[in-house]
Amino acid sequence: MNKKRLLSQINPKPGISSIEPYKGGNHNFSNANLINLASNESFVGPSPKVVKSLNNSSYSINRYPDGSTFLLRQAISERYNLDVDKIVCGCGSDELIDILVRSFSGPSDEVLFSQYGFLMYSIAAKSNGAIPIAAPEYNLKTDVHSILSSISNQTKVILIANPNNPTGSYLNKIELELLCREIPKNILLVIDSAYAEFVTDDDYDSGISFVNKFDNVVMTRTFSKLYGLASLRLGWSYSSKYIAEIMDKVRQPFNVNSLAQIAGIEALGDFDHENFIVKKNKENLIKLKNGIESLGFEVMPSVANFVLVKFKNFSYSASMYDYLISKKVLVRKVTAYGLPDYLRITVGKIEEINLLLQSMQEFKNVYNEK
Ligand SMILES: Cc1ncc(COP(=O)(O)O)c(C=O)c1O
């Protein structure tokens, strides 16, 4: 039989055809030598101790990595004072999110998240045959009552990014506790704390205390953001032992490579580097926000390493995006999130922020003259 005809008769599982593939910030531009302010990566990079240990370590590429990620889980457990058996490591927190959605939902189940929640939630739901449901947001912030009133008998998993990407807003401890308390106990709540390490506000909780209190709550974390290890793909989750054991059944046996395990352990031990980045990010975030505001654009409040900027309409934001590319600065369109008038901009080095601001000012001058 003709191969073309055969292929057209092979259909993916329901839901998969409707997925719009996730496109990273540098999609189409990976060779373009741009200043990348599009993917919320670290502008400082990993700890020098990580780089040194990767260069010196005696891992063997011909050997499988430790499938139990034992030493890494032990390092996480010591750092945060958590039971090592309640930690699962993954190939980025994306993988852990998929494992959780896959383990706890399936065809005709609903997976619930906030209207402007992280894009991968809907992809995880659809690729596992479940139905993605977005609860309305007000003022670009997850709304606890809206989430609660969107729960149905089919809801199996709720995902909340805290802080959220791309809005930069977060639920405080009181709001998060209310959510944890009110959600029926047969629904899994995933608190995705990918940006937790950047947040220093007293009213913030990464989710650890809620996992300790509520058996149906899981927290996910990543080494991609503050720790600057995005390319190694490393994330971890903290949950009840019961949930961790389910995740262990479903995950690939060697899902975290040896380099990522070595790097993660080193990264967690370099407090100076971590504190330096938190401080630097805060300084540069303020510089970025103030600079954009002084150009007359609205910047949403953010506690993470990026800001969401509002422009007067889609044509303006799209033209601004193109102009910035022409100046070698890559930012992120957020049309796929339903925010066509906005651009998301990652905190960069001071010289990168200066180039961005100068380019935005130039664009504004040209656009206003038209
Ligand atoms: C809110 C949120 N969750 C999860 C991730 C995935 O991170 P990773 O798979 O690199 O750990 C991201 C990445 O941008 C994110 O913004």
Residues 313 and 233 occupy one common structural domain: no
Taking the C-alpha atoms of residue 287 and residue 353, their distance in angstroms, rounded to an integer, is: 8
Residues 286 and 310 occupy one common structural domain: yes
- Atom from ligand 1 closest to the CA of residue 195: 1
- Atom from ligand 1 closest to the CA of residue 230: 10
Residues 213 and 319 occupy one common structural domain: no
DSSP letter (8 states) at residue 27: T
Domain termination site, one of 269, 293, 310: 269
Contact 158, 187 (CB under 8 A): yes
Q: Which residues line ligand 1 (CB under 6 A)?
A: 40, 92-94, 118, 161, 165, 192, 194, 222, 224, 230, 235
Contact 350, 288 (CB under 8 A): no
Residues 32 and 89 occupy one common structural domain: no
> Residues 237-277: pLDDT tens digits?
999 999 999 999 999 999 999 999 999 999 999 999 999 99
Q: Model confidence at 367, in pLDDT bands (50, 70, 90)? A: confident
Say whether the peptide bond before residue 166 is cis (omega within 30 degrees of 0). Answer: yes
Pairing of β 188-192 and β 155-161? parallel
Residues 103 and 226 occupy one common structural domain: yes
pLDDT at 3: 57
How many structural domains is the chain composed of? 2
Q: Mutation test of ligand 1: which of 192, 199, 237 has the most ligand atoms closer than 8 Å to its C-beta? A: 192
> Residues 58-76: pLDDT tens digits?
778 899 999 999 999 999 9
- Atom from ligand 1 closest to the CA of residue 223: 11
The CATH number given to whatever domain includes residue 329 is 3.90.1150.10
Q: Model confidence at 28, in pLDDT bands (50, 70, 90)? A: confident
Residues 251 and 127 occupy one common structural domain: yes
Taking the C-alpha atoms of residue 367 and residue 370, their distance in angstroms, rounded to an integer, is: 5
Least confident segment among 25-39, 73-87, 244-258, 324-338: 25-39
Residues 61 and 199 occupy one common structural domain: yes
> Residues 87-120: pLDDT tens digits?
999 999 999 999 999 999 999 999 999 999 999 9
Tell me which residue of 214, 238, 247 sits closest to 87, measured CA to CA. 238
Residues 327 and 260 occupy one common structural domain: no
The CATH number given to whatever domain includes residue 58 is 3.40.640.10
List the structure tokens of 271: 């407090």
Residues 116 and 265 occupy one common structural domain: yes
Domain that holds residue 333: 22-45+272-369
281-292 per-residue burial string, b: 16 or more CB within 10 A, e: under 16: beebbebbbebb
Rounded to 10°, the helix 258-269/70-80 angle is 20
Which pTM value belongs to this model? Answer: 0.95
Nearest CA to ligand 1 atom 16: 165
- Atom from ligand 1 closest to the CA of residue 164: 1
Asked if the structure places residue 8 within a domain, the reply is no
Residue 319 phi/psi, 5-degree rounding, is -70, -35
Asked if the structure places residue 207 within a domain, the reply is yes
Quickly list DSSP for 320-334. Answer: HHHHHHHTTEE-EE-
Taking the C-alpha atoms of residue 112 and residue 170, their distance in angstroms, rounded to an integer, is: 17
